[in-house]
């Protein structure tokens, strides 16, 4: 896999309402990308202004920076995977078939809420349909990261969802990280499956494909994708020892309740994990 000459800029972290799991990989502790997609807030008594061109350029750069981090931390090899953030009434998404280290802000594609995009510009990722379906599913979702991370993909290819073998499964918003059935990439069928599963989860596995993670911004979505890969690796290794000892429904309900109030930013985070 080709490596870029420059490393994407880092910014201050946002705090998420979960504890760091034991054995977390070094890649999962790397600097998080910026949050460019948030629209400017209006001052009291004034209406919100439309995002400026500079703000749009910053959002495009952050999509690229997130894709580079995804690749450099081995979450998705080569040109696999894709990244998007909500923008205006649609989204900004990585283009199809281009190496991340070669991307310029103008290469990031804008796709409108109805799926329309500029046919004379860069074509959006072939997976733009399921990215758009995620934004339609839940208005609080601000970014989507899709990866072919090693262990998550291994489990997806074995058609194994990740059950409550560890309390950190709750980071995805429920008692498991579900697996959706196989559907060809880039299809509306796959988009519908993704939309249905994201109704009550913030991460999922895609049979014979990979994983998807969402967040209220790019940094949160990428971090959740890293956490899913860590959990997938842990579960894969537990399976080599025999049948996992799973947490029960009552224990997981307690964990989910505790997560609601955990962390300094718990109340303002938007509670993407339901």
Cβ neighbour number for residue 146 with a 10 Å cutoff: 29
User: Of 102, 120, 127, 257, which one is the catalytic site residue?
Assistant: 127
**Helix or strand (DSSP H, E) at 63:** helix 53-72
Closest CA to 220 of 21, 64, 84, 33: 33
Rounded Cα distance between 9 and 221, Å, is 17
Q: Is 127 a catalytic residue?
A: yes
- Cβ neighbours of residue 108 under 8 Å, at least 6 residues apart? 60, 63, 64, 92, 93, 94, 95, 122
In degrees, rounded to 5, the angle at the alpha carbon of residue 116 between the alpha carbons of residues 194 and 189 is: 25
Which residues are designated catalytic? 127
């Amino acid at each position: 896999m080709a490596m870029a000459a420059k490393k994407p800029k880092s910014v201050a972290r946002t705090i998420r309402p979960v504890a760091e799991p034991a054995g977390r990989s070094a890649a999962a502790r790397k600097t998080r990308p910026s949050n460019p997609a948030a629209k400017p807030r209006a001052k009291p008594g004034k209406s919100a202004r439309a995002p400026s061109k500079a703000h749009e350029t910053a959002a495009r750069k952050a999509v690229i920076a997130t894709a580079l981090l995804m690749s450099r931390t081995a979450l998705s090899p080569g040109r696999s995977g894709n990244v998007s953030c909500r923008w205006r009434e649609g989204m900004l998404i990585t283009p199809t078939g281009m190496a991340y280290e070669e991307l310029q802000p103008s290469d990031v594609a804008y796709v409108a809420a109805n799926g329309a995009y500029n046919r004379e510009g860069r074509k959006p990722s072939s997976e733009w349909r399921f990215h758009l379906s995620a934004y339609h599913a839940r208005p609080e979702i601000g970014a989507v990261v899709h990866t072919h991370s090693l262990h998550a993909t291994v489990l997806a290819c074995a058609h194994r969802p990740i059950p409550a073998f560890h309390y950190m499964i709750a980071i995805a918003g429920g008692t498991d990280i579900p697996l959706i059935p196989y559907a060809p990439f880039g299809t509306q069928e796959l988009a519908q499956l993704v939309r249905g599963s994201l109704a009550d989860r913030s991460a999922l596995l895609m049979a014979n494909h990979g994983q998807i993670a969402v967040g209220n911004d790019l940094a949160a979505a990428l971090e959740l994708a890293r956490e899913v890969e860590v959990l997938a690796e842990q579960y894969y290794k537990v399976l080599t020892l025999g049948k996992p000892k799973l947490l029960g429904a009552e224990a997981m309900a307690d964990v989910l309740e505790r997560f609601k109030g955990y962390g300094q930013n718990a109340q303002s985070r938007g509670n993407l994990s339901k």
